[in-house]
Amino acid sequence: MGRPHQFIQLEAIERDFLSDFVRKGECKAIEQNRARMLLWSDAAVKADEIAVRLGMSYGTVTQTLKQYRDSGLESALYDAHRSGAPRKITPELEAHITAISCSDSPEGKAKWTVEMLKDEVIRLNVVETISKTSVHTILKKANSSLGRKRCGASAK
């Protein structure tokens, strides 16, 4: 015998909010589905039936309902903010790379290459490591071309 079904009990104001939320459709699809989960559970629809209706896993439905019971409507409906890792390529680093690319090339070289720029930035202790792809992306973003006489950020 399985676990007994645990339906949620929405307050009238929550039910009205969720109904409007679903009807307007001005949010992410996952938030719409979470709102439907809560409304259907309030209407005594079993979690496995909700999962079938929404094409989601049973675990996703039960987790959303548990989140509502534990932390309330906001927590169940919206994803928590994720801080993520800080940017490794800062505006200061971009400025350094662009400035180096606009400077005179090393002795014996006609122009800077992406590889030489990468090595120079590391040699100057601007960063510990950086890939050639990152250097290339920075130059492309700055609209800089190593092959042109006039380099640096220029108007398009």
Closest CA to 122 of 149, 142, 100, 148: 100
d(CA 132, CA 134): 5
- Mean pLDDT over the full length of the chain: 88
Q: What is the mean pLDDT of residues 135-156?
A: 68
- When comparing pLDDT for 5 and 33, which is higher? 33
Per-residue pLDDT of 112-130, as tens digits, reads 999 999 999 999 999 999 9
Closest CA to 56 of 26, 79, 34, 27: 34
Residue type, 8: I
Whether the CB-CB separation of 105 and 63 falls below 8 Å is answered with no
Per-residue pLDDT of 51-90, as tens digits, reads 999 999 999 999 999 999 999 999 999 988 877 888 888 8
Q: What is the mean pLDDT of residues 90-107?
A: 90
